[in-house]
């Protein structure tokens, strides 16, 4: 078997066998397939696509290119379940969701990512907590999941190494936006955590990776079909990213919002709807709840009685953070020296948000990265972001900028105002949750 023959077969529109895909992925991992061959293969898939059995095979082979977590022998008394989002602006859902589901009896071994470009990263938000260790040993990771019910950590070099090399080449060959390859990239990493079920959050809109609803739906369908084909019960929910999801954007700022959410101080309605929907899917997929009403009841119960917040605090401490973080978070999270309100030039209703550009305001302030190696400022960001349909004037600002100095705050204010359009009339609002594709709708 030769790599060039596999590339030729896909170039000519043929369906690859499991053996061909396994051989090629092994070559990506051990270096016997060259960068040029990987790029050619990616381009062949980009133009000719992959049938569902090919997508399942590619996902499983990439997953098995590295360590796959085994929970055998741990005797977990509940199901192993997780969630993944395709990314956006002000998406702090994972911060609350993991502890909420764990408080309901699930076990959530969440391997999260960093932010890149305009999107925020769950790991960056947790690193705003002093001492929080995103790279514990495998033994500590599994022990914490068993003892507390959830651990949110970063990907190690041992997880899906084929994907790491494959993605770096896709990134420089204009083949990132191939649905079969996106599907395999997401799932090979996520399923390596040894999951039994998975709830996917596929964003759609101008701040999402997939900007059109049709493309988001195609990706959601692909993920549901492939994950279920790989033996992991999975649903995908399509949610709106035509504006910021919550009140804040940044790292410490979003951590603050998550704490206020868990402790009942403030729950942004859009953020709450998406969080409850995805948590509900996790409970239904894993069998913790039998109906949506039962799932909602259980989730509200752990929010109201403080159990979800308690689990969050225990997880933070188990991963190296302060034991009293939940009670004294204001003394631990970094604060920006400059906090400045930004007002619209003229009053009106917020009618449209260029969400990608809004996310880049945080990057400009130093709270995001355009290169994976960039250092970030955890203190900077945005708070009190007003949503579409809100009337703003000289009394109600568009948002508050948290900056390192006055100069960067002023520059960010210009970008912020440019990303928001106003109108005289109340605009039509997009749904927050568009639809959910269930495992039963998967077509292998």
Residue that the structure tokens 């910021």 belong to: 244
Nearest by Cα to 365 from 350, 348, 378 = 378
Using an 8 Å Cβ cutoff, are 215 and 241 in contact?
no
> What is the spatial order of strands in the sheet that 420-423 belongs to?
391-392, 348-353, 420-423
**Identified catalytic residue from 10, 114, 118, 189:** 189
85 catalytic, yes or no?
yes
**Identified catalytic residue from 55, 190, 267, 298:** 190
383 catalytic, yes or no?
no
190 catalytic, yes or no?
yes
140 catalytic, yes or no?
no
92 catalytic, yes or no?
no
Nearest by Cα to 124 from 3, 208, 278, 249 = 249
Alpha-carbon distance of 38 to 30, in angstroms, equals 13
- What separation, in Å, do the N-terminal and C-terminal C-alpha atoms of the chain show? 27
What is the number of other CB atoms lying within 10 angstroms of the CB of residue 322?
18
Structure-block tokens of residue 222: 């692909």
Q: Are strands 399-403 and 381-383 parallel, antiparallel or unpaired?
A: antiparallel
Crossing angle of helices 93-103/292-304, nearest 10°?
A: 100
Query: HEC profile for 340-371?
Result: EEECCCCCEEEEEECHHHHHHHHHHHCCCCCC
335 catalytic, yes or no?
no
**Identified catalytic residue from 10, 83, 233, 256:** 83
**Identified catalytic residue from 10, 55, 59, 84:** 84
**Identified catalytic residue from 55, 125, 170, 402:** 170
**Identified catalytic residue from 86, 119, 122, 383:** 122
Size (the chain), residues: 444
**Identified catalytic residue from 29, 65, 85, 286:** 85
The conformational region for residue 49 under phi > 0 = left, psi -120 to 50 = alpha, else beta, is left
**Identified catalytic residue from 92, 185, 237, 277:** 185
b/e 115-136 (16+ beta carbons within 10 angstroms → b)? bbebbbbbbbbbbbbeebbbeb
Nearest by Cα to 61 from 9, 4, 104, 17 = 17
83 catalytic, yes or no?
yes
**Identified catalytic residue from 82, 91, 163, 377:** 82
Return the active site residues: 82-85, 122, 170, 185, 189-190
């Amino acid at each position: 078997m030769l790599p060039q023959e596999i590339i030729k077969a896909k170039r000519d529109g043929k369906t690859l066998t499991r053996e061909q895909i396994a051989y090629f992925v092994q070559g990506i991992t051990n270096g016997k397939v060259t960068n040029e061959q990987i790029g050619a293969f990616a381009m062949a898939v980009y133009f000719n696509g992959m049938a569902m059995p090919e997508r399942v095979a590619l996902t499983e082979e990439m997953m098995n290119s590295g360590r796959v977590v085994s929970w055998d022998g741990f005797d977990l008394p509940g199901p192993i379940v997780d969630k993944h989002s395709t990314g956006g602006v002000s998406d702090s859902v994972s911060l609350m969701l993991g502890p909420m589901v764990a408080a309901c009896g699930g076990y959530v071994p969440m391997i999260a990512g960093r932010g890149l470009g305009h999107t925020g990263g769950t790991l960056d938000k947790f690193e705003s907590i002093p001492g929080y260790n995103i790279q514990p040993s495998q033994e500590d990771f599994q022990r914490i999941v068993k003892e507390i019910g959830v651990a949110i950590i970063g990907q190690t070099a041992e997880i899906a190494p084929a994907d790491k090399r494959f993605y770096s080449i896709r990134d420089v060959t204009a083949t990132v936006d191939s649905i079969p390859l996106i599907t395999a990239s997401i799932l090979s990493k996520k399923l390596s955590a040894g999951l039994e079920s998975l709830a996917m959050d596929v964003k759609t809109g101008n701040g999402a990776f997939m900007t059109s609803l049709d493309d988001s739906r195609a990706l959601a369908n692909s993920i549901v079909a492939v994950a279920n084909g790989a033996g992991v019960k999975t649903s995908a929910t399509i949610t709106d990213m035509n504006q910021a999801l919550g009140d804040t954007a940044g790292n410490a700022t979003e951590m603050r919002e998550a704490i206020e959410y868990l402790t009942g101080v403030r729950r942004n309605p859009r953020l709450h709807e998406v969080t409850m929907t995805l948590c509900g899917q996790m409970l239904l997929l894993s069998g913790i709840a039998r109906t949506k009403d039962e799932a909602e009841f259980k989730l509200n119960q752990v929010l109201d009685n403080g159990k979800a917040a308690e689990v969050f605090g225990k997880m933070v401490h188990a991963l190296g953070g302060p034991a009293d973080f939940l009670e004294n978070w204001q003394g631990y999270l970094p604060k920006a020296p400059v906090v400045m309100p930004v007002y619209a030039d003229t009053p009106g209703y917020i009618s449209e948000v260029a969400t990608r550009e809004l996310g880049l305001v945080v990057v400009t302030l130093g709270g995001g990265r355009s290169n994976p190696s960039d250092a970030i400022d955890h203190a900077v960001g945005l708070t009190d972001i007003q949503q579409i349909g809100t009337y703003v004037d000289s009394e109600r600002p568009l948002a508050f900028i948290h900056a390192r100095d006055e100069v960067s705050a002023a520059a960010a204010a210009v970008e912020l105002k440019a990303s928001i359009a106003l109108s005289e009339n109340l605009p039509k609002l997009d749904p927050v949750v568009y639809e959910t594709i269930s495992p039963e709708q998967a077509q292998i």
